[in-house]
A and B are shown apart, each in its own frame.
Chain A
Amino acid sequence: MSPEHTPKGLGSIADVTALLASVGYISTPEISTAVYLAHHLRKPVLIEGPAGVGKTDLARSAAQALEFPLLRMQCYEGLDESKALYEWKYGKQLLYTQILKEKIHHLIEDSDGLDASFKKLAGFQDLFFSRDFLEPRPLLKAMEQTGGSILLIDEIDKSDEEFEALLLEILSDYQVTVPEIGTIEAQVPPLVILTSNNTRELGDALKRRCLHLHIDFPDAELEARIVRTRVPAISERLLAQLVGFIQQVRGENIRKLPSISETIDWARTLILLHADVLEPAMVRSTLNVILKRQTDIVEIAGKVDGLLEAAQADAVSTR
C-alpha cells in the first residue's frame, strides 16, 4: 500500500530523522515514526502539545528538507470555506459579463423568442463557473500541487466545529468538492500536518482520520541538543546551566511554563549580553524572556538562587 513515489528521505524511520536533522530540526523517534507513517499510510498527522515545542516548526522543516512547497492554513474562529477552500472571483465574473455583453447580443440576435435565445445560451452557462473564475485557497491549492506538498493546518482547535467537518473530506480522500464544477482530486496527496494547542477537544471523526503525535517538553539532553543546533555560538558550560535551570523552572507551579522556543530565545539573549555563566542577577533581569506572566516572574524571581543550586546538583548527580 505504499505510495508509488517515495521521496528520498522518507524511505525509513532513520532516514526521516536524518532528513529533519539536515535542516536543523532535532527529531525524536516518535516524531520520525509519525512522519514516516504519515507518508506511507497516507494519513494526516495531528500534533498536540504545549505551545512552543516545535509543532509548526516540524511542518516548516519537513517542507524545507523535502523541498516541497508549504501551504499554511492558520485557523481562527469564523474561518469558513471561502477562506480555506475556494472562492469565486465575483469581480472578474462581473467584468467578463460586461465585456461579453455585446458578443452575447450578437449571438442571440438571429433567434427569435425568449425560448430560442435561452436554449442557445444554455450551452454557454458553465462558462462563468469554470476553473478560470475559481480562486483557490490553501486547501484547494494543496490538492493542485503536482510535485507533492506539505499542508499545515495550524491551530485547528481555534476553528469552529463546522470547519472541522469541512476538513473530513479532504483528510480522508484528498479531494475537494466544488458543487458547480465537481470533485477535484489531489494530483499527489499532500503530507498533511495539523496542530492543536488543546484549547478545546477535537471531534472523534477528525481524530480517527489522523495519526496522533504528542510532543511534550523535551528532557534535558534533547533540549541541550536542540539549543546547540539552533544557537551554535553557545558555550557548553552555559548551555548545561541554562538547560538545567529551565528544567527546574518547568517543575515549578506557574501558569505558563517556558517552552523550547523560550529556551532558544533566552540562549540568544544571554549571548548578546556576553554572559558565559548564569548568575542570579543576570537571570533575574532576563526572566521576562522565558516567562510571560508577571505573576510567574515574581514567583520565580524569588526562587532563582534555589533553582540554580538545584540545577547544579542535578547536573552533578547525572554526571
Chain B
Amino acid sequence: MERTLTSYIRALRSAGAGVSTTEALDAARTLEIVGYGDRQVLKTALGTVLAKSVEEKDLHEQMFELYFSRAAAAASAQSDDSDEADTSSEDPDSGSNSDDDDGGGEASGQESRGTSLMDLAQTADAGQIAMAMERAGARAGVDEIRFATQTGYYVRRMMEELGVEALEARLMEQLGQRTPEGEAEAEKLMEARSRVQRMARVHVDARFEVFGRSATEAFMNEVLVERSFGAMGRGDMDRMKLVVAKMAKRLAVKHARRRKVRNRGQLDLRRTLRANAGHDGVPFDVVWKTKRKDRPKIVAICDVSGSVAQYVRFLLLFLFALKEKVTDLETFAFSAELADVARPLETLPFEEAMMRIIDEVGSGGTDYGKAFLQLKSGYGEIIDRRTTVLILGDGRSNYSAPRLDIFQEIADQAKRVVWLCPEPEGNWGTGDSCLLQYKPFCTLLSHCTTVTDLERALDEVLMAYD
C-alpha cells in the first residue's frame, strides 16, 4: 500500500501540486493513524496533509476520485490477500486452455501471468480484472503516459505484458490448420483478444486522466504563452484567461509585498522613546522613520482600432487580474475619440465589455494627438507622480498631428511612460507611424506580442515601485 501512496503523490505532482518529501512522510504517518477503513476520512485527512491551498485542495479532490476509483479500490483490496486470489485463478478448469507464456523472469511476473488472457476475457470478476490490469499496467510503465497520442502504444505494451504474443501465436496456428474446429477456436481467441484490449484501453485512458492530462495542459499553456496575440483563435481565449490569471497572480505575489521601506538615518524620536520606556529611557533600540511606498497606479490608454484591438484584449485582461491586489487602475480606450472604459469593464462580463468598447470607441481613424489632448484636458488630474502611463498602440496616427507638446506634458507629470507596441522594431517610424517621435519621452518603449512579453513589461512597470 505504501506504493499506492507514493504513486498517488507522484500523480499529484504531475498535476502541478508541489508535494515535498516532508509532506509525503506526513501522508504516510497519516495513513498509519487514520487507516484505510473509511474512504471519506482518508480523503479529508490526505487533503489536510498534502494540499496547501484552495487550488491544491480542488486538485486533490479531483485526483483522489480519479486515482482511488472503485476499480482500483477493488484491486487493492484483493492484492492485500493476493495469495488466495492467485491460487484461485490457477484452478484446474482454467489450466486446460492456459497458453501461459511463462516468459516473465521476475518473481511477480509469474503469478499474474497465471491468469491467462483467455481467463481474463471470460471472467466477470471485476476485482480480478482490475488487479491484472493494474499489474500489467505497472510493468508496461503506463504511469509514464503524458500525451493522449501515446494511448495506442501503451495499450499494445500492456497487451504484451498480459501475454498477447502467446495468444497470437496460437491464433496463427489455429488459422493455419484450416479446419472448422480450428476456425471456431480462432474466432474465440480473437474475441478474447479484443475484449482484453478494450479493458486495457480503459485502464490506459484512466491513467492518462491521472498522469497525462495535466502534462498536456501544461504543454499547451506553454505553447500559448509564446504565441503571438495576432495568431490566437477564439478557442484559445478560455485557456488564455486561465494562463493570464495565473501569471497575474505570480506578479501580484511578487509585488504585493513590502509596502514600507526604512528611511535609515532619520530617527523616529517618538517611537524610540516608546520602545525604550522599559529600559529606563536608555535608547537601546533605535527606531528609524519609515516611509510607506506608493501603491502603483496605472493609467492605461489603449488604441482599439482594428489593427490593435486583439492585443488590447489581453493587456486589459492582465491589468484587471492585477487590479485587486496590486494597482490602482484607470483605463481609457480610443481610436478617433478617447473614452473612459472603466465602467463597462467593471460591470459587464469581460467579453461583452470588450465588444461594447470596440463598438463604441473603435470606429473612425486613429488619432493619437487628439487622444492625448483629450486625456490631458479631460482627465489631467488623475496623472500624478505615482502614475505609470501605459500606452498600448502601434503609433499609427493617420498623418494627424502627433501633439508632442501635450505628450511631453503628460510624460513630465507622470512617474513613467511605458509604451507597448505590437509592431516589430523594424516597422517603427515607417509610413504613418509616429512612434520614433514619441520615443524620446517614453521611459520604456517595447515590442510586445505574446503573453510572456506582456508579463515582462508589467513586471518592469511594477518593479519601479519596489
The interface of chain A, by Cβ under 8 A from chain B, is 1-2, 13, 29-30, 33-34, 37, 40-41, 43, 45-46, 48, 77, 82, 87, 89-91, 94, 161, 200-201, 204, 207-214
Chain A contacts for B54, CB-based, 8 A: 48, 214
Chain A contacts for B260, CB-based, 8 A: 77
Q: Is the CB of B49 within 8 A of A214?
A: no
Chain B contacts for A43, CB-based, 8 A: 26
Smallest Cβ-Cβ distance to A204: which chain B residue: B18
Smallest Cβ-Cβ distance to A30: which chain B residue: B44
Q: How far is the CA of A29 from the CA of B42 in the complex (A)?
A: 11
Chain B contacts for A13, CB-based, 8 A: 34, 41
Smallest Cβ-Cβ distance to B23: which chain A residue: A208
Smallest Cβ-Cβ distance to B259: which chain A residue: A77
Q: Is the CB of B52 within 8 A of A40?
A: no
Q: Which 10 pairs across A and B sit closest by C-beta, in order of nearness? A: A90-B279, A207-B52, A212-B52, A33-B44, A201-B253, A211-B48, A34-B48, A40-B33, A33-B45, A208-B20
Q: Is the CB of B53 within 8 A of A37?
A: no
Contacts A41-B30, A214-B57 hold; do A90 and B284 have CB atoms under 8 A apart? yes
B427 contacts the other chain (CB 8 A): no
Chain B contacts for A2, CB-based, 8 A: 33
Chain B contacts for A90, CB-based, 8 A: 278-280, 282, 284
Q: How far is the CA of A43 from the CA of B54 in the complex (A)?
A: 19
- Pick the contact of B280: A1, A29, A37, A94 (CB < 8 A): A94
A171–chain B nearest beta-carbon distance, Å? 12
B377 contacts the other chain (CB 8 A): no
A–B Cβ pairs within 8 angstroms, 18 of them: A13-B41, A33-B34, A34-B48, A40-B33, A41-B33, A45-B48, A48-B54, A77-B260, A82-B285, A89-B278, A91-B278, A91-B280, A200-B257, A201-B256, A207-B52, A211-B48, A212-B52, A213-B48
Chain B contacts for A213, CB-based, 8 A: 48
Which residues from 36 to 82 on chain B have a C-beta closer than 8 Å to any C-beta of chain A?
40-41, 44-45, 47-49, 51-54, 57
Q: Is the CB of B29 within 8 A of A41?
A: yes
B22 contacts the other chain (CB 8 A): yes
Contacts A33-B45, A43-B26, A91-B278 hold; do A212 and B53 have CB atoms under 8 A apart? yes
Pick the most buried of A33, A41, A207, A213: most chain B CB atoms within 10 A of its CB.
A33
Q: How far is the CA of A90 from the CA of B285 in the complex (A)?
A: 12
Q: How far is the CA of A48 from the CA of B260 in the complex (A)?
A: 25
B32 contacts the other chain (CB 8 A): yes
Chain A contacts for B282, CB-based, 8 A: 90
Contacts A91-B278, A91-B280 hold; do A208 and B52 have CB atoms under 8 A apart? yes
Q: How far is the CA of A212 from the CA of B284 in the complex (A)?
A: 40
Q: How far is the CA of A94 from the CA of B41 in the complex (A)?
A: 58
A111–chain B nearest beta-carbon distance, Å? 30
Smallest Cβ-Cβ distance to A95: which chain B residue: B280
Q: Is the CB of A37 within 8 A of B49?
A: yes
A215–chain B nearest beta-carbon distance, Å? 11
A231–chain B nearest beta-carbon distance, Å? 29
Smallest Cβ-Cβ distance to B285: which chain A residue: A82
Q: How far is the CA of A29 from the CA of B46 in the complex (A)?
A: 13
A239–chain B nearest beta-carbon distance, Å? 28
- Pick the contact of A37: B30, B51, B284, B285 (CB < 8 A): B30
Which residues from 256 to 296 on chain B have a C-beta closer than 8 Å to any C-beta of chain A?
256-257, 260, 278-280, 282, 284-285
- Pick the contact of A200: B30, B53, B256, B278 (CB < 8 A): B256
Smallest Cβ-Cβ distance to B19: which chain A residue: A208
Further contacts, 4 of them, CB under 8 A, given A33-B45, A46-B52, A90-B284: A37-B33, A200-B257, A209-B22, A212-B52
Chain A contacts for B45, CB-based, 8 A: 33, 37
Q: Is the CB of A29 within 8 A of B33?
A: no
Smallest Cβ-Cβ distance to A89: which chain B residue: B278
Q: Is the CB of B41 within 8 A of A33?
A: yes
Q: How far is the CA of A46 from the CA of B44 in the complex (A)?
A: 15
Chain A contacts for B47, CB-based, 8 A: 30
Contacts A33-B48, A211-B48, A212-B52 hold; do A1 and B41 have CB atoms under 8 A apart? no
